[in-house]
Chains A and B, each alone.
Chain A
Amino acid sequence: MPDFIPSRRSLLLGGVAAATGLAAIPADQWLGFARAWAEAAPWKPEAGAKINLLRWKRFVEAEDVAFMAMVQAFSKATGVEVNVSNESYDDIQPKASVAANTGQGLDMVWGLYSLPHLFPDKCLDMTDVATYLGGKYGGWTASAEAYGKSGAKWIGVPVAATGSLLNYRISACEKAGFKEFPKDTAAFLELCRGLKKNGTPSGMALGHASGDANGWVHWALWSHGGYLVDKDDKVIINSPETAKALEYVKQLYDTFIPGTASWNDSSNNKAFLAGELYCTNNGISIYVTAKREKKEIADDMNHAYMPVGPVGKPTELHLAFPILTFQFTKAPQACKAFAAFMQEADQFNPWVSAAQGYLTPFLAAYDANPIWTSDPKVTPYRDVAKRTLTPAGIGTLGEKAAAAVADFIVVDMFANYCTGREDLKGAIAGAERQAKRIYR
């Protein structure tokens, strides 16, 4: 097996580079950088160190290929063996939780949202890595600090975010009367109504889809001024603003393609690419796939920020990917070295390029990456790390907020009302009751 894997990877690397038209990154060039880096880095991996790393399963193939090339360069330069396993979005957290609870199996997890905050006591202090990277690359965004820090301590290193932006078909929106994509929630509802009337419906996931569903329902709640908790972490979900958000989403939901209550994170990708769905919230993965397989859809689609609601300012939740190290790892120095190496310019830039907009770094210096201006349809994704709030909203991102988002409290509140399982009061009361138990 060890003989087989590198050759398969190099095959893939070649194949994808050819397919996407990206210049292949010479592996030896990376290795040269990696060797020099390992010499100078402040973290000296333990002898014979091994890292078991779990990451989310890629939506953009070239991104994964570049990631594995980076891992390989790191391994060769430092002698640290890195085992990478992949799990789908929804399966990352249970595996990480089990490892956290049993104290074995994994050393590092590259997961979603507030994962490190679910078990802050089990995360290794990464403050030195975060300080090093922040100092070297123009500083962290505010959202990165919220995601990475527990108190004054960094318990995870935010690597990148993927934007939850509206993906829409240009021709369908024009036909519905919108030459330009709507900038506010009222016009957006009009657009969705028009799309439904023309038989070119919109749709956003309302099932337990960690990325997509959380992304847009939090936007809907916040854009109307509703929040699960206030800045002192007091539960304030039971408010007239929440009720307005629910009414708004119900109207939106009535224009959706049927079945969104059962959607997971990949459902909208498939429906959009099959030409059945004309507007949805997603990362750039639909566009990347369309460019390769469905040219006519790629040419006819574009991306827009989530419309601004009655509160008058953007309220977006994008999907952050922080990496954490368990404090029970036998190789803390190797893990820190790896976390730092991931975001060093010489290899992070090619990797971000390979992701084609799927990964938006949290470090200011990477705004200059040419991928953001290579294609105007990619540019909106450049700023998502700066624009995003955390799942805690205006509250503190910590264990409680992490539990609330993992339990899909806000998603279920909207789904309960939209599907008619609960009335307005019942849906809010259910969410409030659950939130109060978590935030007690």
Chain B
Amino acid sequence: MTVVDARAPLQVSALAGAWQRLRSNRNWLGFWFMVPAAGFLILFLAYPLGLGLWLSLTDARIGRGGSFVGLENYQWLSDDSVFWLSVFNTLLYTFVASVIKFAVGLYLALLLNRHMPFKALIRAAVLIPFIVPTVLSAIAFWWIYDAQFSIISWSLRKLHLISENINFLGDGNWARASVIFANIWRGVPFVAITLLAGLQTVSPSLYEAATLDGATAWQRFRYVTYPLLTPIIAVVMTFSVLFTFTDFQLIWAMTRGGPVNATHLMATLSYQRAILSGRLGEGAAIATAMIPFLVAAIGISWFGLQQRKWQQGGPNND
């Protein structure tokens, strides 16, 4: 009894001391602050990603677990012309839509950055395509592109410019152009408004100095605006590319990947194979195949961003 009595307070005080040290340790505290966020990331990002990777290595079907089949799904896909078509479509869709979204968005941002009447109202109006739910705008476009009731075909026919309806969604190339246009329409506001925010951080004194030095409008843009805007361009374009690359709703609501797979993106093909025809493993493999492309896209913008650090000033000046 006495031995125990003598030892207990000692232990307690040692424990309390450790606890005291731990409590004042900023890293320990920081760890706990990070736990909720990390928990969310693991539960909602890392776990589904891991599960997707695992599924892609199995022959799982809807309603029943699969067994491990190694890279069989990938082998099958490597020889699947529809899969490669969807890869081509995704790259084309992402590249064309992103480039045009950037060009139009930047132009719009420069316009909106000027002083004009009803500035706030116009800026708000520009955001509308971005606010409308994707599926709603997709359905509107679906009507605009309808094979029989297209408003565009109708107008052109009434103007006697064409004699037959344009086969917007029934012809492969027309369909690709149509969905890319719809994506651009939706994506431009995001690019424009974000770039506008970037433009407004550019100090007017720089423009004054440039003007005093006799810079033309183009030179002011090329040597003042553009360099100062690059970090935000990198961020915007990263997001824009990611959103476009993983687009699903717009395509699904308008064409479901048709006509004859001409507008299938990797995301829609993955859904078609996994959920509609029930081959979860194959669908997961298609989704997993998107990851390298996405990592590459992020990598390019990330390293682009790193190189521009000197432009932001600060301690890293070199």
Contacts and interface: CB of A to CB of B under 8 A. Distances in A.
B interface, how many residues as a size bin? 35 or more
A258 B165 contact: yes
A274 B148 CA distance: 9
B129 interface: no
B172 A421 contact: yes
A125 interface: no
A119 B63 contact: yes
Contacts of B169: 259, 262
B170 A118 contact: no
A119 B65 CA distance: 12
B260 A415 contact: yes
Given A270-B148, A421-B172, A258 B164 contact: yes
Contacts of A121: 63-64
Contacts of A399: 61, 278
A97 interface: yes
A272 to B, nearest CB: 10
B210 to A, nearest CB: 52
Interface stretch (B199-207, B225-233, B251-259): B251-259
A207 B256 contact: yes
Contacts of A101: 62-63, 280
B278 A208 contact: no
A101 B81 CA distance: 29
A416 interface: yes
A318 B256 CA distance: 23
Given A97-B63, A421-B260, A271 B148 contact: yes
Interface string B36-78: 0000000000000000000000000111100000000000100
B147 A259 contact: yes
Interface in B136-169: 146-149, 164-165, 167-169
A416 B82 CA distance: 11
A277 B148 CA distance: 9
Contacts of B256: 90, 207-208, 264
Interface string B253-282: 001111111100000000111011111100
A interface, how many residues as a size bin? 35 or more
A255 interface: no
B175 interface: yes
A419 B169 CA distance: 12
B254 to A, nearest CB: 9
Nearest to B175: A262
A54 to B, nearest CB: 15
Interface string A255-277: 00111111110010011001011
Contact of B259 (A122, A267, A403, A415): A415
A407 interface: yes
A125 to B, nearest CB: 16
Nearest to B178: A262
A203 to B, nearest CB: 9
A80 B188 CA distance: 51
Given A258-B147, A407-B272, A407-B273, A207 B259 contact: yes
Interface string A204-243: 0011100000000000000000000000000000000000
A93 interface: yes
Contact of B275 (A98, A261, A415): A98
Given A262-B169, A271-B148, A421-B172, A118 B260 contact: no
Interface string B63-104: 110000000000010001110000000000000000000000
A258 B165 CA distance: 8
A432 to B, nearest CB: 13
A402 B278 CA distance: 9
A208 B76 CA distance: 23
Ranked nearest first, the 10 interchain pairs of A and B with the lowest CB-CB distance are A259-B147, A119-B63, A261-B259, A262-B169, A407-B277, A262-B170, A259-B170, A100-B63, A261-B170, A415-B260
16 contacts: A90-B256, A97-B276, A101-B63, A119-B64, A122-B63, A207-B258, A262-B259, A270-B148, A271-B148, A274-B148, A407-B273, A412-B260, A412-B261, A419-B171, A421-B262, A433-B80
Given A259-B169, A271-B148, 6 more contacts: A97-B276, A119-B62, A122-B63, A208-B256, A260-B147, A262-B167
